[in-house]
Amino acid sequence: MTEHSAHDLCESDHAPFPYEGCRAVLTLSLGEFEGLIPDLDMFFSRIAGYASVVIKVDSWPASRFSRAEADLANSFFEEHPEYELLERDITDDLAPDLAEQLRFFEQLRVEILKLARERERI
């Protein structure tokens, strides 16, 4: 993936936040995971933020590479193990919008991280 394709991928995502899927999953959890929606929103926003500036990756200072490495190192469930029990319920059947958005942002996170690591070594 190039910096342009990572940026374009993010720009192509016009899906709304997956509230419906979050609510479906949270209904099964009996209110134990009230922070899921804000934590997901922050996670998605951070990745989208990097995608919006990845087009200028060649001009990033060294400190930005280090920050990107730290910010993008973990998947949502690695970063928030408190939601690990919900992961099994996030399926295309029960929460298709949430499952789709998690896949999308995971792919974008990995690609931006890979691109940043490649550029850092140049």
> What was the pLDDT predicted at 81?
96
More confident residue, 15 or 75: 75
Query: Residue 16 — left, alpha, or beta (φ > 0 → left; ψ -120 to 50 → alpha)?
Result: beta
Distance CA 49, CA 38 (A): 16
Tell which residue, 48, 32, 9, 28, has the closest CA to residue 89: 28
What residues have CB less than 8 Å from 43, skipping those under 6 apart? 76, 79, 80, 105
Any idea what the Cα angle at residue 115 is, between residues 18 and 79, rounded to 5°? 45
When pLDDT is averaged across residues 74-87 and rounded to a whole number, the result is 96
> What was the pLDDT predicted at 5?
61
User: In the predicted model, is pLDDT for residue 71 greater than 90?
Assistant: yes
pLDDT tens-digit readout, 15-46: 899 999 999 999 998 778 989 999 999 999 99
Dihedral of CA 35/32/106/102: which sign?
Answer: negative
> What was the pLDDT predicted at 11?
60
Per-residue tokens: 30: 């009996």
* CB distance 95 to 22 below 8 Å: yes
Domain residue spans of the chain? 3-121
User: In the predicted model, is pLDDT for residue 72 greater than 80?
Assistant: yes
* pTM as predicted: 0.85
